[in-house]
Structure 1
């Protein structure tokens, strides 16, 4: 994935690669920022049509996720393909991609 290579290059250039456990905590924090945008912009769900999530927050979460993948030596493209195959199988079996059924 081109984006994962960009993250790897950024780490190499700035010597900022961290421990995966800390990167996972950072990822959770970044996803929390997206949820905060959603909660604030929709008045905690009362006005869903007002949803406004900042693109830089999405970028931060994506960066963090790709950083975790890179640190764990996981190819993000392969992980995505695996997830899509899992969802396709669930749809075929249950008609729904979620695991909650």
Structure 2
């Protein structure tokens, strides 16, 4: 069991996948807000503020929690995606799907 699953079990934070997804969406919005503020809405290089780091952590926690609730191995999923993109880049020079 992952650290996130153990944490959620310990503190009674289990949610069904649908509510986990809503939480991830909410946290992603908060990260977007902080990123916009950290770059002055794209007018300067991003400043890595404590708030930006905290919101990134919240998104990462929400994503890993969703993976746990769905029985997805995040590392395995990442490896499969990297292999897919590597294959696309080698074949066409683009990471996008055809």
User: TM-score normalised to the size of structure 2?
Assistant: 0.87
Match of residue 36 from structure 2: 39
1:96 & 1:7 partners in 2: Cα distance?
34
Aligned mate of 1:90, from 88, 91, 94: 88
Other-structure match for 1:59: 57
Q: 1:98 to 1:76 in 2, by over 3 A?
A: same
Structure 2 unmatched runs, 5+ = none
Match of 2:16 in 1: 19
Q: Which runs of 4+ in 1 moved over 3 A?
A: 50-53
1:6-26 Cα shifts (integer Å, max 9, x gaps) = 101001111210011111111
Partner of residue 78 from structure 1, selected from 51, 67, 76: 76
C-alpha displacement of 1:71: 0.3
Residue segments in structure 1 that go unaligned for 5+ positions in a row: none
CA distance in 2, matches of 1:6, 1:55: 20
Aligned residues: 96
